[in-house]
């Protein structure tokens, strides 16, 4: 069952002679529970694709159906609700809210949704990500790895349909990188979590079940491991 | 607590310096606003209370109108209360101790008069029936053997001239040969039940009768003076007063003025208008400070908002975070600002009250007046201002592109056509400043806006306060003298026996006297009159005007002539018959519900020749004794040449004439016999003294010990309120300028510092790649010079313009004050503040650890 359908997705920046096509009629689909890595060189369109999937940007043309809904028809609160409930996003630079503690950052999407925080789930998640003893710390009191694990916990807490990870290990050392990828792989394996991982690291990409390679905005390779 | 509120609260705690600056800004704004509103309300209510205490709680009075018409007025239902005075008549005093006051004048009053008019009971009680009377203090002093509890037998009649005309308290005693009491009623016993202060709304110092009051039990209005207090006077005043003929009505102009009812004299309106302008200044200053704080605070956290959006926060929730911040600040700071504002005013009023009561007999009470409506308005104003200041930048932030904001690359929008194209090679520091200016265009605009606003507000406020001080000084009737002495001996005796000794008393710094008499009439030659004067007299079907002689001391006259650059010999030559004259008429112009007073020059030329139809005392008595007589038959013609002078810049003794309407011929005493047949019998003397109370006491002692019959008055006492008001406005202006300056200094420091500190990461990166301290300081210097130059050019132009416009809020004729001093102060202050801000920014960036700064920014 396809959870994501991407049809002829095109996005360009600039105008006339300065025009750069970041995505050029990209079409593919993702099935539920799939761990997909999107690889490519810098400027190949990986991040643009991820931002479009997160509803953070709008394409020139094409559609993205997530669970049967064209996300580009969503606006305002519905779009915010989509970002809150359907996807969990992990950035390279963590992007935590500096004034909130670890547990407050993690529970942020649920609290923005005015839902009650499931304390047991929070404890389990923090324990799983080795953050139990850091839950009352502010982001600037954490190491890079701890911050990224907090970002993963935030992305997971609402039990989203899809995890979108934009170079989550790009800012981390090898040990921390391995830990993060192990967490993601475990999530996919144990909870059938759909994950779209953007990376330029072939080794990390090899941990995914499927690798899509982008070059100049086009899919040049789509391989299942 | 919701997560949104939590983020807002934590953000406030984290950005301590900005929160403090914003909090101080909000606090000062609310404090200023409260202070202005409460001060104006308190001042207005104090003015009303004081005016009622001195002038009475009534709006107008009527006389000589029939009962039916009074009832017609009352039937409108717009009159809250009436009080009546019935002139019972005069009774002669046997062997009067004061030869100018040979009568007792009896007025029967309604009970309500004691509430509506300023009658101060010194001893005893109020009368309860027509047989009980109140005596005035000066009667009790002159006739010490008459006391409360005594009874006196009096028979009252009509005071008439020998021609049979009824005379009132407004005409002075003319002697037994010229007047008497007719139609005496039956003798009655009156019981003295109390002593009051002199009844100055009935009796003048020259009035021939001591006014005593009894209770009038007759409910009718015939032959009575009726005082009216209106319900909702602002709405009903014109409707009610228009019922009564203009010639039978007079107004309590002081009360009408402070209650904001009448036009030109509307003091309340002027004070409120002044307060509105001040509030506008505060609103602009506060809005600029608060919104700048929020704008920078929001632009600093735009990335945070984008992050929240990316994980599913709605636009409403983003705006809510800023609104929560605003509400948190409002919750603490609005009550604090309100309390401190009210406290400041209470403290000021109590100090001013002490100052006034220590130096005056008036014992004014400046009472704090705060009502729920004022507090509610301030709260609504404060909350709205803070919310609006917070809401607008938040609204802008949610419109931004999320990813571009997170990556912080949305600020780099250099369009090809607008790209900086240096004509010559620039230093790296200048180039960096140029690039930053383009990149952070909006933030630079906030800084420049804030600087320009500060400069303009400082200059505008200072100009406004200068205009206000000038206006208050001009509009207050301040006297040029402190003590007045009136004598009723002939002019020579008065000068030798009274004026000269008094003027030599220690402490008198200047003095003068004049003696005025009615001279007769001038019959106009219309061609000599100005158009306005012709129109004025033709509207009244008059072709004549009275003229008064004002005799003055020869030496003082010479000095006045020297000041006016006139050849004094012409005015002291009996063959020339030359005088200087004041010839201005104050004409009242009514337009709709408003009236204005226009001063009309009577003559076209500055030198005019005319005939005075002069009457001496004998001619006058004969003329008045014959109602059908033509004044021309009883007067002789005196041809004079007159130099018309302005009413301004007259000497001390003539300063009263600066407001006088009519024609006054000023003549040196040496010329008396050439102009007049009789020797004037009344002299007014004026004295200036720094310590007026001590000098007054010395004068009083001299008059008593020498048994001189004179009326001595320390007039300064009555004008101390005006002087205090001027002092108050001056103090208030200075305090206001200081507070506005503080608000603006904070605003500039806040915006300039913030604009640098939010780019701390850029500067830290530059330092980390080897930018020298010298180079960094140079960059800062370029940047701050850019702020300064642009702001000063814009600020100067706007300051001139606004100062010029502000003068019209007082009067178009007011002289434009070029606020050079204020502009210099503003320029120096801006340079100083920018230097201070720059020094702090440099210190902050240079002393911070590079790695910590980079790490903090990345987080």
> How close is the nearest chain A Cα to the Cα of B290, in Å?
23
Alpha-carbon gap, residue A185 to A193, rounded angstroms = 9
Output the pLDDT for position B144. 84
This model of the complex carries an ipTM of 0.81
Torsion of CA A47, A52, A54, A58, to 10 degrees: 140
Residues 308-327 of B with CB under 8 A from A: 308-317
Q: Do B313 and A77 touch (CB under 8 A)?
A: no
- Cα–Cα–Cα angle for B178, B163, B681, nearest 5°? 30
Output the pLDDT for position B210. 92
Q: Do B858 and A93 touch (CB under 8 A)?
A: yes
For tokens 């002393």, name the residue. Answer: B847
Q: How much of chain A, in percent, has pLDDT values that exceed 70? A: 100
**Residue B89: CA count within 13 A, CB half-sphere:** 19
Alpha-carbon gap, residue B123 to B671, rounded angstroms = 50
pLDDT band at B577 (very low <50, low <70, confident <90, very high): confident
Q: Do A95 and B317 touch (CB under 8 A)?
A: no
Average pLDDT of span A93-121: 86
H/E stretch holding B283 reads helix B267-300
Angle between helices B820-847 and B760-768 (to 10 degrees): 50
Does residue B785 carry a pLDDT above 50? Answer: yes
Average pLDDT of span A85-109: 86
Segment B91-118, tens digit of pLDDT = 988 888 887 789 999 999 999 998 999 8
Instruction: Name the residue of chain B whose CA is nearest to A80's CA.
Output: B312
Q: Do A80 and B7 touch (CB under 8 A)?
A: no
> How close is the nearest chain A Cα to the Cα of B313, in Å?
6
Whether the CA torsion B630, B634, B637, B641 is positive or negative: it is: negative
Q: Do B307 and A95 touch (CB under 8 A)?
A: yes
Is residue A76 less than 8 Å (CB to CB) from chain B?
Answer: yes
| R_g (Cα) of chain A, nearest Å | 17
Q: Do B402 and A56 touch (CB under 8 A)?
A: yes
Average pLDDT of span B689-706: 86
Q: Do A112 and B14 touch (CB under 8 A)?
A: no
Output the pLDDT for position B419. 45
Q: Do B3 and A112 touch (CB under 8 A)?
A: yes
Segment B268-318, tens digit of pLDDT = 666 677 677 777 777 776 777 677 767 766 666 777 788 888 888 888 888
The partner residue sitting opposite B859, judged by closest CB among A107, A112, A139, is A139
The token duo for B404 is 């571009």
Alpha-carbon gap, residue B312 to A77, rounded angstroms = 9
Is residue A58 less than 8 Å (CB to CB) from chain B?
Answer: no
Does residue B335 carry a pLDDT above 90? Answer: yes
> How close is the nearest chain B Cα to the Cα of A225, in Å?
31
From start to end of chain A, where are the E strands? 2-13, 20-31, 35-40, 61-66, 69-70, 87-90, 162-166, 194-198, 210-215, 218-224
Task: Give the residue among B452, B442, B458, B460 at the shortest CA–CA distance from B788.
Answer: B452
**Mutation site for B-interface testing, chosen from A51, A56, A104, A150 by largest number of B Cβ within 10 Å:** A56
Q: Do A57 and B403 touch (CB under 8 A)?
A: yes
Q: Do A80 and B312 touch (CB under 8 A)?
A: yes
Tell me which chain B residues have a C-beta less than 8 angstroms from the C-beta of A89: 310-311
Torsion of CA B103, B108, B111, B113, to 10 degrees: -60
Alpha-carbon gap, residue B827 to B831, rounded angstroms = 6
Is residue B7 less than 8 Å (CB to CB) from chain A?
Answer: yes
Ranking A167-171, B493-497, B695-699 by mean pLDDT, the lowest is: A167-171
pLDDT band at A177 (very low <50, low <70, confident <90, very high): confident
> How close is the nearest chain A Cα to the Cα of B295, in Å?
19
The partner residue sitting opposite A89, judged by closest CB among B4, B311, B855, is B311
Output the pLDDT for position B37. 82
Give residue B811's Cα distance to chain centre.
14
Alpha-carbon gap, residue B435 to B426, rounded angstroms = 12
Is the separation of the CB atoms in A110 and A157 below 8 Å? yes
Q: Do A99 and B11 touch (CB under 8 A)?
A: yes
Segment B157-200, tens digit of pLDDT = 888 888 778 888 888 788 877 888 887 778 889 999 999 988 87
Is residue A11 less than 8 Å (CB to CB) from chain B?
Answer: no
Is the separation of the CB atoms in B607 and B576 below 8 Å? no
The token duo for B481 is 């003298």
Output the pLDDT for position B858. 40
> What domain range is A215 assigned to?
2-224
Q: Do B406 and A111 touch (CB under 8 A)?
A: no
Q: How much of chain B, in percent, has pLDDT values that exceed 70? A: 83
Pairing status of strand A2-13 against strand A61-66: antiparallel
Alpha-carbon gap, residue B549 to B553, rounded angstroms = 13
The token duo for A143 is 């190491």
Does residue B468 carry a pLDDT above 90? Answer: no
Q: Which of the 8 DSSP states describes residue B163?
A: T
Ranking A75-89, B210-224, B266-280, B721-735 by mean pLDDT, the lowest is: B721-735
Is residue A185 less than 8 Å (CB to CB) from chain B?
Answer: no
Does residue B635 carry a pLDDT above 90? Answer: no
Does residue B825 carry a pLDDT above 60? Answer: yes
For tokens 């049809």, name the residue. Answer: A7
The token duo for B224 is 């009575």
Is residue A46 less than 8 Å (CB to CB) from chain B?
Answer: no
| R_g (Cα) of chain B, nearest Å | 37
Alpha-carbon gap, residue A123 to B528, rounded angstroms = 105
Does residue B767 carry a pLDDT above 50? Answer: yes
Angle between helices B773-806 and B760-768 (to 10 degrees): 150
The partner residue sitting opposite B855, judged by closest CB among A77, A99, A140, is A140
Does residue B360 carry a pLDDT above 60? Answer: no
The token duo for B137 is 């203090």
Is residue A191 less than 8 Å (CB to CB) from chain B?
Answer: no
Q: Do A108 and B315 touch (CB under 8 A)?
A: no
Q: Which of the 8 DSSP states describes residue A115?
A: P
The partner residue sitting opposite B311, judged by closest CB among A84, A104, A147, is A84
Segment B415-427, tens digit of pLDDT = 444 444 444 556 7
Segment A30-71, tens digit of pLDDT = 999 999 999 988 888 888 898 899 888 889 999 999 989 999
Alpha-carbon gap, residue B742 to B719, rounded angstroms = 35
Task: Give the residue among A59, A85, A84, A86 at the shortest CA–CA distance from A73.
Answer: A59
Name which residue leads in pLDDT, B163 or B263.
Answer: B163
Instruction: Name the residue of chain B whose CA is nearest to A18's CA.
Output: B416
The token duo for B528 is 């000599």
Is residue B858 less than 8 Å (CB to CB) from chain A?
Answer: yes
Q: Do B312 and A98 touch (CB under 8 A)?
A: no
The partner residue sitting opposite A95, judged by closest CB among B2, B14, B406, is B406
Q: How many CB atoms lie within 10 A of CB B454?
A: 28
Is residue A161 less than 8 Å (CB to CB) from chain B?
Answer: no
Residues 491-520 of B with CB under 8 A from A: none
Alpha-carbon gap, residue B561 to B667, rounded angstroms = 11
**Mutation site for B-interface testing, chosen from A76, A90, A98 by largest number of B Cβ within 10 Å:** A98
> How close is the nearest chain A Cα to the Cα of B398, in Å?
11
Segment B17-66, tens digit of pLDDT = 677 767 877 887 788 788 878 877 887 787 788 778 878 899 999 988 88
φ, ψ at B136 (rounded to 5°): -80, 155
- Cα–Cα–Cα angle for B215, B220, B222, nearest 5°? 105
Does residue B742 carry a pLDDT above 80? Answer: no
The partner residue sitting opposite A112, judged by closest CB among B10, B313, B315, is B313
Domain count within chain A: 1
Output the pLDDT for position B591. 64
Segment B374-417, tens digit of pLDDT = 889 888 888 888 888 777 777 777 777 676 666 655 544 544 44
For tokens 């086009």, name the residue. Answer: A218
Is the separation of the CB atoms in B370 and B38 below 8 Å? yes
Output the pLDDT for position B132. 93
Is residue A45 less than 8 Å (CB to CB) from chain B?
Answer: no
φ, ψ at B401 (rounded to 5°): -70, 125
CATH code of A41's domain:
3.40.50.300
* Average pLDDT over all residues of chain B: 80
Task: Give the residue among B322, B470, B471 at the shortest CA–CA distance from B388.
Answer: B322
Q: Do B7 and A100 touch (CB under 8 A)?
A: yes
Task: Give the residue among B126, B129, B106 at the shortest CA–CA distance from B187.
Answer: B106
In B360-423, alpha helices (H): 372-398, 402-407
Tell me which chain B residues have a C-beta less than 8 angstroms from the C-beta of A162: none
Q: Do B14 and A98 touch (CB under 8 A)?
A: yes
Is residue A57 less than 8 Å (CB to CB) from chain B?
Answer: yes
Ranking A172-181, B249-258, B363-372, B589-598 by mean pLDDT, the lowest is: B589-598
The token duo for B820 is 């050079």
Is the separation of the CB atoms in B215 and B111 below 8 Å? yes
A-B Cβ pairs (cutoff 8 Å, strict): 82
Angle between helices B773-806 and B820-847 (to 10 degrees): 150
């Amino acid at each position: 069952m396809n959870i994501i359908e991407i049809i002829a997705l095109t996005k360009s920046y600039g105008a006339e002679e300065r025009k750069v096509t970041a995505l050029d009629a990209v079409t593919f689909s993702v099935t539920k529970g799939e761990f997909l890595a999107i690889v490519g060189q810098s400027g190949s369109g990986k991040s643009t694709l991820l931002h479009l999937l997160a509803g953070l940007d709008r394409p020139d043309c094409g559609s993205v159906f997530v669970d049967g809904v064209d996300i580009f028809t969503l606006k305002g609160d519905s779009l915010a609700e989509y970002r809150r409930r359907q996807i969990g996003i992990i950035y390279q630079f963590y992007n935590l809210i500096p004034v909130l503690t670890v547990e407050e950052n993690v529970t942020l999407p649920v609290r923005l949704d005015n839902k009650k925080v499931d304390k047991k789930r929070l404890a389990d998640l923090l324990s799983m990500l080795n953050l139990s003893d850091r839950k009352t710390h502010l982001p600037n009191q954490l190491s890079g790895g701890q911050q990224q694990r907090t970002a993963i916990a935030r992305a997971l807490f609402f039990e989203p349909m899809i995890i979108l990870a934009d170079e989550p290990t790009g800012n981390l050392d090898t040990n921390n990188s391995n830990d993060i990828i192990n967490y993601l792989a475990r999530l996919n394996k144990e909870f059938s979590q759909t994950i779209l991982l953007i990376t330029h690291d072939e080794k990390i990409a090899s941990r995914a079940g499927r690798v899509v390679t982008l070059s100049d905005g086009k899919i040049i390779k789509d391989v299942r491991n | 607590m919701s997560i949104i509120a939590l983020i807002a609260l934590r953000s406030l705690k984290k950005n301590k310096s900005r929160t403090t600056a914003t909090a101080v800004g909000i606090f000062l704004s609310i404090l200023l606003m409260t202070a202005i509103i409460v001060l104006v309300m308190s001042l207005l209510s104090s003015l009303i209370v004081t005016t009622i205490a001195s002038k009475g709680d009534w709006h107008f009075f009527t006389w000589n109108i029939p009962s039916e018409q009074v009832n017609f007025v009352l039937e409108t239902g717009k009159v809250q209360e009436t009080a009546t005075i019935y002139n019972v008549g005069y009774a002669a005093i046997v062997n009067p101790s004061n030869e100018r006051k040979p009568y007792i004048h009896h007025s029967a009053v309604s009970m309500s008069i004691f509430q509506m008019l300023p009658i101060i009971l010194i001893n005893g009680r109020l009368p309860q029936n027509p047989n009980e009377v109140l005596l005035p203090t000066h009667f009790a002093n002159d006739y010490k053997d008459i006391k409360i509890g005594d009874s006196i037998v009096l028979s009252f009649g009509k005071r008439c001239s020998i021609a049979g005309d009824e005379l009132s308290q407004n005409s002075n005693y003319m002697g037994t040969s010229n007047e008497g009491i007719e139609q005496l009623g039956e003798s009655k016993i009156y019981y003295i039940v109390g002593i009051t202060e002199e009844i100055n709304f009935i009796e003048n110092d020259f009035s021939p009768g001591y006014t005593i009051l009894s209770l009038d039990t007759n409910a009718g209005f015939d032959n009575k003076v009726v005082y009216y207090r209106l319900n909702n006077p602002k709405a009903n005043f014109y409707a009610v007063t228009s019922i009564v003929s203009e010639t039978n009505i007079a107004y309590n102009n002081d009360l009408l003025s402070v209650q904001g009812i009448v036009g030109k004299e509307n003091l309340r309106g002027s004070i409120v208008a002044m307060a509105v302008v001040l509030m506008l200044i505060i609103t602009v200053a506060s809005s600029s400070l608060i919104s700048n704080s929020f704008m920078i605070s929001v632009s600093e956290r735009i990335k945070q908002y984008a992050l929240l959006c990316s994980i599913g926060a709605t636009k409403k929730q983003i705006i809510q975070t800023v609104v929560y911040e605003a509400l948190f600040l409002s919750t603490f700071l609005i009550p604090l600002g309100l309390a401190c504002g009210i406290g400041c005013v209470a403290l000021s009023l109590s100090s001013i009250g002490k100052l006034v009561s220590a130096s005056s007999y008036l014992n004014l009470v400046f009472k704090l007046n705060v009502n729920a409506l004022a507090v509610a308005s301030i709260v609504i104003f404060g909350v709205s201002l803070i919310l609006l200041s917070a809401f607008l930048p938040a609204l802008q932030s949610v419109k931004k592109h999320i990813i571009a904001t997170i990556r912080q690359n949305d600020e780099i929008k250099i369009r090809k056509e607008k790209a900086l194209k240096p004509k010559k090679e620039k230093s790296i520091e200048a180039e960096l400043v140029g690039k930053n200016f383009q990149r952070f265009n909006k933030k630079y605009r906030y800084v420049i806006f804030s600087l320009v606003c500060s400069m303009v507000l400082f200059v505008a406020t200072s100009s406004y306060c200068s205009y206000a001080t000038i206006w208050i000084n001009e509009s207050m009737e301040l006297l040029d003298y402190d003590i007045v002495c009136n004598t009723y001996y002939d002019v020579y005796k008065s000068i030798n026996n009274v004026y000269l000794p008094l003027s030599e008393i220690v402490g008198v710094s200047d003095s003068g006297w004049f003696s005025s008499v009615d001279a007769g009439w001038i019959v106009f030659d219309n061609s000599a009159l100005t158009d306005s004067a012709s129109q004025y007299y033709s509207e009244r079907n008059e072709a004549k005007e009275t003229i008064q002689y004002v005799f003055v001391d020869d030496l003082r006259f010479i000095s006045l002539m020297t000041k006016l650059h006139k050849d004094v010999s012409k005015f002291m030559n009996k063959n020339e018959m030359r005088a200087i004259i004041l010839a201005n008429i104050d004409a009242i112009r009514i337009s709709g519900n408003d009236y204005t007073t226009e001063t009309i020059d009577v003559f076209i030329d500055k030198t005019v020749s005319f005939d005075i139809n002069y009457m001496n005392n004998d001619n006058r008595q004969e003329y008045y004794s014959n109602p059908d007589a033509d004044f021309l038959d009883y007067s002789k013609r005196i041809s004079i040449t007159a130099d018309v002078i302005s009413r301004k810049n007259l000497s001390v003794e003539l300063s009263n004439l600066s407001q006088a309407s009519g024609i006054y011929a000023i003549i040196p005493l040496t010329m008396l016999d050439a102009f007049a047949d009789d020797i004037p019998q009344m002299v007014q003397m004026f004295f200036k003294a720094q310590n007026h109370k001590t000098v007054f006491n010395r004068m009083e002692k001299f008059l008593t010990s020498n048994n001189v019959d004179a009326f001595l008055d320390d007039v300064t006492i009555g004008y101390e309120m005006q002087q205090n008001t001027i002092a108050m406005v001056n103090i208030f202006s200075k305090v206001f300028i200081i507070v506005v300056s503080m608000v603006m200094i904070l605003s500039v420091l806040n915006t300039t510092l913030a604009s640098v500190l939010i780019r701390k990461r850029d500067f830290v990166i530059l330092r980390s790649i080897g930018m020298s301290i010298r180079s960094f300081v140079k960059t800062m210097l370029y940047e701050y010079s850019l702020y300064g130059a642009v702001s000063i050019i814009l600020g100067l132009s706007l300051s001139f313009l606004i100062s010029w416009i502000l003068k019209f809020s007082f009067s178009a004729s007011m002289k434009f004050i070029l606020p050079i001093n204020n502009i210099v102060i503003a320029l120096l202050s801006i340079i100083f503040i920018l230097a201070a801000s720059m020094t702090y920014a440099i210190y902050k960036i240079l002393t911070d650890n590079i790695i910590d700064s980079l790490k903090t920014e990345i987080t």
